[in-house]
Amino acid sequence: MTESDPFLVALCRRVLVGQQHELAQVTFDAAVLDRYRGQPVYSLIRTDTVGRLKQEGGWSLDFGIGPDDRHVHGCLRDLAALPEEERLHWATHAVLPNGSRNFLQMCLHPGSCIDDGEVRRWD
């Protein structure tokens, strides 16, 4: 059994037990930030593990940076506060590392028939 990071456990407890769904994390390809680089109305700053994107005189978004700089992630709360056009842009860069595309289909279309192998016990 692998041990979870204590901060991840605490966050998941707040989301799942404390009903603070707005803290749930969404992951994106870091290319989502390309749209803002070099644009005078945006500032994009970072440390090794966190960053901030800010539209001058407008909105800002804090995000986490994955260890390989290929992915960034943010809270639903902060992403939902972005203007609609920005939310649409971020949605097109969403990724699900190590996730199941078929499960996403099942979530979007309850009752979907997924035929991707024999049904078996998971011992």
In a domain, 116, yes or no: no
Which tens digit of pLDDT belongs to each residue from 38-90? Answer: 999 999 999 999 999 999 999 999 999 999 999 999 999 999 999 999 999 99
In a domain, 1, yes or no: no
Amino acid occupying residue 111: G
In a domain, 113, yes or no: no
pTM of the complete model = 0.87
**Domain count of the fold of the chain:** 1
In a domain, 115, yes or no: no
Q: Three-state DSSP class for 118?
A: coil
Beta bridge partners of 46: 51
d(CA 104, CA 118): 19
d(CA 6, CA 51): 21
Residue written as token pair 């994106």: 28
Mean pLDDT of the chain: 92
In a domain, 101, yes or no: yes
In a domain, 78, yes or no: yes
In a domain, 43, yes or no: yes
